[in-house]
């Protein structure tokens, strides 16, 4: 009799694990329970669907449920919610299609993802007030915009989702007001990035309300106004994007331990405190490659990679899930902004480092070659060891250069080692000394006291 691998959750981590496990061990019975109808979809593409750059919502689906069932031989059951886990008995309790039943497992992966945070705002239940974290929400926003053609939009939150939705709603003809309770948008990217992005957002017609805490929404049935600090402004649609929280209740109720971040605690193989129960994706912690401490980084690559590794482990060939540098990139109209590692100096100090940083601006191409742009690069290093801790990049082109910094972090490189890296050069792509190398050279000089 073959082992049974049960997966709870049908998106990035869950379906990567299921596919890898079945591919490595075809005799393994793989059963996936997904409470919704969508699986294996690109959540990061949803703002671009609302904007109109992605024609159909289904275009965001990487692999359909039918393909998983028929081509990959995975027992995928959509519309089935796991409502309980009994690690002692090795069973999950499932509700679906009008019945409740017990499903035994030999190995279990909890990949329940995360949920958009809903602050205690008045009027969250009004028509026209949305969060955007799943496909149904994206579809509902697009339908609303198409049907109502809103003149004014309120976007609450200046993170990835807020910036992307400001662009999307602006493209759909709305006058966009973005509200952020902190002093800057993209706060985790640092001031050097935020200030460039803010200037560009204003140039694109987005009204920024920084250091402004929203209190709620008002309207007769549908949203009409957004309230903040004793004032209010018109709003025909509102999108709240203030972060996500890991879905951990199922795990916690089963005695699966949570970590300090509030997400599910795991070891280097994605195992929980129960040896045959794993967790991955937006509900689980990962090890930060810079600090070595558990971190909660709800990003697509982290989820996919961890799921794939767990699938291989379950199939009989143990594979560590790997660490995370929190590498992220966001498009803000004509700008790109990216970050990786530890760029906040206070966080670096709390982790035991002595942070030293520099910010430089350099051209993305040779000065004589047309089409280039200025790229602002910030690098942070430990003053004692010279080890690279993190970096940010912002500009009209070349922001994927952050991947060079992310690679250096994964390798534990010092600033001196990074600035000696043999990066490619040709006038259409880079000056002789790439902006990342220029920043590393300047930072090395600062570390040396020059």
**Which residues does the annotation mark as catalytic?**
44
Cα dihedral 233, 239, 245, 248 sign? positive
Q: How deeply is 224 buried, as exposed, middle or buried, from its count of CB atoms within 10 A (0-12, 13-18, 19+)?
A: middle
Instruction: Look at residues 254, 301, 285, 280 and name the one whose alpha carbon lies nearest to residue 110.
Output: 280
Angle CA 208–214–216, to nearest 5: 135
Half-sphere exposure of 223 (CA within 13 A, CB side): 32
- Provide the 8-state DSSP code for 188: G
Cα 247 to Cα 44, 110, 140, 251, distances in angstroms:
18, 10, 22, 8
- Complete edge-to-edge strand list for the sheet that includes strand 335-341: 328-332, 335-341, 388-395, 374-382, 355-363
Pairing status of strand 175-180 against strand 152-156: parallel
Distance, in Å, from the CA atom of 293 to the CA atom of 342, rounded to the nearest integer, reads 12
- What is the distance, to the nearest Å, from the Cα of residue 56 to the centroid of all Cα atoms in its chain? 22
Query: Closest Cα to residue 317, out of 15, 21, 73, 105?
Result: 21
Strand 29-34: give its sheet, edge to edge: 75-78, 29-34, 4-8, 107-110, 277-279
Q: Over the Cα atoms of the chain, what is R_g?
A: 23
3-state helix vs strand vs coil in the chain, percent to 5: 30, 30, 40
Phi, psi torsion values for 281, nearest 5 degrees: 90, -155
CA atoms within 13 A on the CB side of 56: 4
């Amino acid at each position: 009799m073959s082992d049974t691998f049960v997966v709870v959750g049908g998106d990035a981590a869950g379906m990567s694990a299921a596919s890898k496990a079945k591919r490595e061990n075809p005799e393994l019975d793989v059963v996936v329970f997904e409470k919704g109808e969508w699986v294996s979809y690109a959540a990061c593409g949803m703002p671009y669907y609302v904007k109109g750059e992605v024609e159909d919502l289904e275009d965001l689906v990487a692999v359909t449920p039918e393909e998983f069932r028929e081509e990959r031989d995975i027992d995928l059951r959509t519309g089935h919610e796991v409502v309980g886990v009994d690690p002692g008995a090795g069973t999950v309790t499932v509700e679906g299609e009008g019945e409740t039943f017990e499903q035994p497992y030999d190995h279990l992966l909890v990949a329940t993802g995360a949920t958009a945070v809903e602050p205690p705002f008045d009027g969250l239940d009004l028509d026209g007030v949305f969060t955007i974290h799943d496909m149904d929400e994206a579809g509902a926003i697009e339908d609303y915009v198409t049907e109502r053609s809103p003149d004014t939009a309120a976007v609450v939150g200046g993170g990835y989702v807020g910036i992307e939705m400001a662009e999307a709603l602006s493209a759909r003809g709305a006058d966009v007001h973005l509200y952020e309770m902190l002093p800057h948008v993209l706060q985790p990217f640092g001031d050097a990035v935020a200030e460039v992005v803010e200037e560009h957002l204003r140039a694109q017609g987005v009204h920024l309300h920084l250091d402004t805490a929203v209190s709620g929404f008002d309207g007769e049935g549908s949203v009409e106004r957004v309230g903040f600090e004793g004032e209010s402004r018109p709003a025909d649609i509102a999108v709240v994007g203030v972060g996500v929280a890991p879905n951990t209740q199922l795990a916690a109720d089963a005695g699966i331990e949570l970590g300090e971040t509030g997400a599910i605690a795991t070891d280097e193989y994605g195992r929980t405190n129960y040896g045959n129960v794993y967790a991955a994706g937006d509900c689980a912690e990962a090890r930060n490659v810079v600090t070595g401490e558990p971190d909660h980084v709800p990003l697509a690559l982290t989820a996919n990679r961890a799921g794939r590794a767990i699938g291989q482990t379950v199939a009989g060939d143990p594979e560590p899930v790997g660490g995370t540098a929190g590498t992220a990139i966001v498009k803000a109209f004509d700008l790109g902004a990216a970050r990786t590692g530890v760029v906040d100096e206070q966080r670096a100090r709390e982790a035991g480092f002595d942070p030293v940083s520099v910010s430089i601006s350099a051209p993305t191409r040779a000065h004589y070659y047309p089409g280039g742009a200025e790229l602002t690069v910030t690098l942070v290093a430990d003053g004692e060891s010279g080890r690279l801790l993190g970096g940010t990049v912002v500009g009209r082109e070349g922001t994927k250069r952050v991947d060079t910094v992310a690679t250096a972090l994964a390798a534990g490189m010092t600033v001196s080692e990074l600035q000696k890296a043999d990066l490619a050069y040709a006038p259409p792509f880079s000056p002789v000394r790439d902006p990342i190398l220029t920043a590393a050279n300047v930072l090395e000089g600062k570390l040396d006291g020059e």
